[in-house]
């Protein structure tokens, strides 16, 4: 009796195995030179790529490659480097991947991406492609990852909240205005402590630097340089005296406090305007409510003001795309890659306010609104993080969010900066 039951269990176990393993497509072992129809997997990160662009990509690809399919699998920014490290080295690797511009070097330097030959580079856009981003995806003179889009941060505000307060025109005024406006219910600048992208302009504008490479190749981190400290002091002033955002929160959900009318200035990627301008009662149950009828109705944008007026140097956020070295179908992957860098596809990205991979398409970004104009101004002054393949490790270690969380909670700026510099140098010079 018992025996039979056990045998039965074993048998059903085997059946289950066979049935279920069909879900998981072991695939991937295909010989690299395979032709004919196949499947291409594209990994996009976060929700920045709009649905319209995704549909266009899938549809165009499947029209151009009859019988083949294209699947978009959305990845999360958190833990992205960890995931790519294994996923792209495995037999079941995706074919085309999006990667943060500052993270690309970790993979280009280690042979994770297929080389884009000089000819292919010319076909895909050549010198029209955003130079800073092309550089971010180069390694030892060869191209591996090309620009996907860029989007620098813009400062948003609504006159309903700001009232008569004049819009600041210098960085010092910006800090002062934030402190003056702050009450228990209102953040002058809403700035969660982990949002380090917004902190870099303060460092740069005050003459500091993130890290610089000396002649002998060693890196020197500059948060504790004179300019760095001055910038950090300003950051701490805003974070502690002009801000109600939690010191340990990250930059998700930024539209929520804004839509509650609790934020005067919000420095965020330009696409957040669509979240703010979403209806209060979203039709999609998953949709996050915005405030189109209230604070979204008179939403304005400006470039972060610089130390001496004008636009500040801000962090050039954005992504690169690459073809995985282990892609089973490089031919199909290239086809998808070409679509993603095509004028049509990139124009869709431009349509929602992202800066396309090609400079010739910049005019497609609507600059008639203050937000569009501000993002163009910001993009023109954008800077990148240090060009070291180890920089991705600085990011995956969360050194900067951690340091700025400490600054936001009032720790001594100098101590934090020195510790941060030591940690960064340890990684970059290891």
Closest CB 9 distance from other proteins, rounded Å: 6
Interacting residue with other proteins among 48, 98, 205, 421 (CB under 8 A): 48
Nearer to other proteins, 206 or 273 (CB): 273
Q: Which of residues 249-268 bind other proteins (CB under 8 A)?
A: 249, 252-253, 255-256, 260
Q: Of all helices (H) and strands (E), which one includes residue 392?
A: helix 391-396
Interacting residue with other proteins among 39, 62, 69, 109 (CB under 8 A): 109
**Are 147 and 384 within 8 A, CB to CB?**
no
Q: Which of residues 192-231 bind other proteins (CB under 8 A)?
A: 193
Give 94's Cβ-side CA count (13 Å radius). Answer: 24
* Placement of tokens 């330097």 in the chain: 109
> Taking CB under 8 A as the rule, does residue 30 contact other proteins?
no
Q: Which of residues 8-27 bind other proteins (CB under 8 A)?
A: 9-10, 13, 16-17, 20-21, 23-27
SS3 content of the chain, % helix, strand, coil (to 5): 40, 20, 40
> Taking CB under 8 A as the rule, does residue 7 contact other proteins?
no
- Cross-strand partners of 96: 42, 323
Alpha-carbon distances of 230 from 189, 208, 373, 380, 410, rounded to whole Å: 18, 8, 29, 24, 15
> Taking CB under 8 A as the rule, does residue 393 contact other proteins?
yes
For the chain, the distance separating the N- and C-terminal CA atoms, rounded to the nearest angstrom, is 64
Task: Write out the E strands in 190-280.
Answer: 211-213, 219-221, 263-269
Nearer to other proteins, 118 or 288 (CB): 288
> Taking CB under 8 A as the rule, does residue 160 contact other proteins?
no
Neighbours of 155 (CB within 10 A): 25
Q: Residues in the chain, how many?
A: 430
Give 9's Cβ-side CA count (13 Å radius). Answer: 6
The answer for residues whose C-beta is within 8 angstroms of residue 268's C-beta and 6 or more apart is 153, 154, 156, 251, 254
Interacting residue with other proteins among 8, 36, 37, 111 (CB under 8 A): 111
**Are 371 and 134 within 8 A, CB to CB?**
no
Task: Please tell me the count of residues contacting other proteins according to CB under 8 A.
Answer: 72
Interacting residue with other proteins among 50, 62, 69, 92 (CB under 8 A): 92
What SS3 state is found at 352?
coil
Nearer to other proteins, 247 or 311 (CB): 247
**Rounded distance between C-alpha atoms, residue 195 and residue 250, angstroms:** 6
Stretch that binds other proteins, among 161-169, 221-229, 366-374, 399-407 (CB under 8 A): 399-407
Provide the CA 266 distance to its chain's centre, in angstroms: 17
Stretch that binds other proteins, among 118-126, 172-180, 201-209, 285-293 (CB under 8 A): 285-293
Going residue by residue from 328 to 367, which x/- string records binding to other proteins, judged by CB under 8 A?
Answer: ----------------------------------------
Closest CB 29 distance from other proteins, rounded Å: 5
**Rounded distance between C-alpha atoms, residue 54 and residue 56, angstroms:** 5
**Rounded distance between C-alpha atoms, residue 61 and residue 334, angstroms:** 10
Provide the CA 429 distance to its chain's centre, in angstroms: 25
Going residue by residue from 290 to 329, which x/- string records binding to other proteins, judged by CB under 8 A?
Answer: -----------------------------------x----
> Taking CB under 8 A as the rule, does residue 77 contact other proteins?
yes
Q: Which of residues 57-76 bind other proteins (CB under 8 A)?
A: 73-74, 76
Closest CB 106 distance from other proteins, rounded Å: 7
Stretch that binds other proteins, among 173-181, 243-251, 304-312, 341-349 (CB under 8 A): 243-251
Nearer to other proteins, 249 or 373 (CB): 249
Nearer to other proteins, 92 or 173 (CB): 92
Interacting residue with other proteins among 65, 70, 97, 112 (CB under 8 A): 112
> Taking CB under 8 A as the rule, does residue 375 contact other proteins?
no
* Placement of tokens 């002649």 in the chain: 215
> Taking CB under 8 A as the rule, does residue 4 contact other proteins?
no
């Amino acid at each position: 009796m018992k025996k039979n039951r056990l045998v039965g269990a074993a048998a059903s176990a085997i059946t289950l195995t066979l049935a279920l393993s069909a879900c998981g497509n072991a695939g991937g072992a295909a010989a690299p030179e395979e032709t004919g129809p196949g499947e291409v997997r594209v990994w996009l990160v976060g929700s920045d790529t709009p649905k319209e662009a995704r549909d266009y990509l899938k549809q165009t690809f499947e029209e151009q490659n009859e019988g083949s399919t294209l699947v978009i699998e959305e990845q999360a920014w958190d833990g992205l480097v960890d995931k790519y490290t294994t996923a792209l080295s495995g037999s079941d690797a995706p074919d085309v991947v999006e990667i943060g511009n500052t993270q690309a070097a970790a993979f280009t330097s280690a042979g994770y991406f297929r080389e884009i030959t000089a000819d292919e580079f010319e076909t895909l856009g050549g010198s029209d492609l955003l130079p800073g981003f092309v550089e971010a995806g180069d390694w030892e003179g060869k191209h591996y990852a090309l620009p996907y889009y860029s989007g620098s941060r813009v400062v948003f505000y609504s006159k309903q909240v700001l009232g008569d307060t004049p819009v600041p025109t210098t960085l010092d005024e910006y800090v002062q205005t934030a402190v003056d406006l702050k009450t228990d219910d209102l953040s002058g600048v809403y700035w969660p402590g982990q949002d380090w992208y917004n902190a870099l302009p303060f460092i740069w504008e005050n003459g500091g630097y993130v890290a610089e490479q000396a002649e002998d190749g060693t890196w020197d981190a500059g948060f504790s340089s004179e300019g760095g400290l001055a910038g950090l002091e300003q950051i701490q002033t805003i974070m502690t005296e002009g801000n109600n955002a939690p010191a340990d929160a990250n930059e998700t959900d930024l539209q929520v406090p804004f839509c509650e009318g609790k934020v005067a200035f919000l420095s965020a990627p330009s696409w957040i305007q669509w979240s703010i301008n979403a209806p209060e009662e979203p039709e999609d149950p998953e949709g996050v409510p915005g405030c189109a009828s209230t604070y979204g109705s008179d939403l304005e944008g400006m470039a972060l003001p610089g130390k001496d007026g004008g636009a500040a140097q801000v962090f050039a956020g954005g992504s690169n795309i690459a073809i995985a070295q282990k892609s089973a179908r490089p031919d199909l992957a290239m086809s998808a890659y070409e679509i993603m860098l095509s004028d049509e596809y990139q124009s869709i990205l431009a349509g929602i306010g992202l800066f396309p991979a090609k400079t010739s398409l910049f005019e497609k970004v609507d600059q008639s609104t203050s937000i569009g104009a501000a993002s163009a101004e910001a993009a023109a002054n954008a800077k990148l993080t240090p060009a070291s393949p180890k920089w991705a490790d600085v990011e995956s270690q969360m050194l900067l969010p951690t340091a700025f969380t400490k600054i936001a909670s009032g720790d001594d700026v100098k101590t934090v900066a020195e510790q941060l510099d030591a940690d960064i140098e340890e990684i970059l010079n290891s």
